[in-house]
Amino acid sequence: MSVGRVRKPPHQRGSIFVISAPSGAGKSTLVKRLMAAVPSLAFSVSYTTRPPRAGEKHGRDYFFVSPRHFRRMIAGDKFVEWAEVFGYLYGTSKMQVRAAQKRGQDILLDIDVQGHHQVRRKLPEAVSVFVLPPSFKELERRLRHRHSDAPAVIARRLETAGQELAHWTEYDYLVVNDRLRTATRALRAVAEAAQVRREIQAVRVQEIFRTFGG
């Protein structure tokens, strides 16, 4: 049975999934395929100060806000995590994540290594996945194939990728995006396994245990 068809018992908390990857590793494509395969999984819409790209919509892809607005949210402790990436600020709303947990909704956080460090401290129950490219050469090919960045930007992204890969030991699961179908299947397996973790099933098991006179 797929996760999307599983009906959660009352009072079961939602799971938090964190996915990180170097730019060009194919994370965005994997996330879209995972969301399609697991309808019960909600996407956490981040706040950002970068301008919208073609086709992006406020509230769907990101909440596009001014740097001043973002700084006010930082001062008000409104973020689970926030980071500056390539000159722009990105952050995950604390209220959005906690509300999803409370209503039993699984939520996916698409964040970078910096953000993951913060989530680990504030939400230790989160399940984290790091998506890797099969090689440096393949990552470089994918970045150049996008035709969206200048050579200097690509060079900077490759340098940053090497720095991010050094943090692979901090994640619960590692997925090499060599074949898209295989990588998607691996991510879905993580989502399914997370449903039966002890801390997620605790309330239900306690209810079952009480029927035995426990």
214 residues of the chain, pLDDT tens digit each: 333 444 555 557 788 999 999 988 999 899 999 999 988 899 999 999 999 988 999 999 899 999 999 999 999 999 999 999 889 999 999 999 989 988 888 999 999 998 999 999 999 989 999 999 999 999 999 999 887 788 999 999 999 999 999 999 999 999 999 999 999 999 999 998 888 888 888 888 888 999 998 5
Q: Domains in the chain: how many in total?
A: 1
Q: Give me the helices (H) in the chain, please.
A: 27-37, 67-75, 94-102, 113-122, 136-145, 151-165, 180-194, 198-211
Q: What is the pLDDT of residue 9?
A: 54
Residue 138 covered by a domain? yes
Cα–Cα nearest to 160, from 149, 147, 172 = 149
Q: What is the pLDDT of residue 196?
A: 85
For helices 151-165 and 136-145, angle between their N-to-C axes, nearest 10 degrees: 140
Residue 139 covered by a domain? yes
For helices 180-194 and 27-37, angle between their N-to-C axes, nearest 10 degrees: 50
Residue 117 covered by a domain? yes
Residue 152 covered by a domain? yes
Please state whether beta strands 106-110 and 16-20 pair in parallel, antiparallel, or not at all (unpaired): parallel
Structural domain for 37, as ranges: 3-44+106-211
Angle in degrees, CA 72, 94, 119, rounded to 5: 110
Give dist(CA 82, CA 89) in Å, integer: 7
Residue 51 covered by a domain? no
Angle in degrees, CA 81, 87, 89, rounded to 5: 25
Report the sign of the C-alpha dihedral through residues 46, 23, 16, 166, in that order: negative
Give dist(CA 11, CA 203) in Å, integer: 7
Indicate which CATH number applies to the domain containing 40.
Answer: 3.40.50.300
Residue 141 covered by a domain? yes
Residue 125 covered by a domain? yes
Phi, psi for residue 23 in degrees, rounded to 5: -60, 130
Residue 63 covered by a domain? no
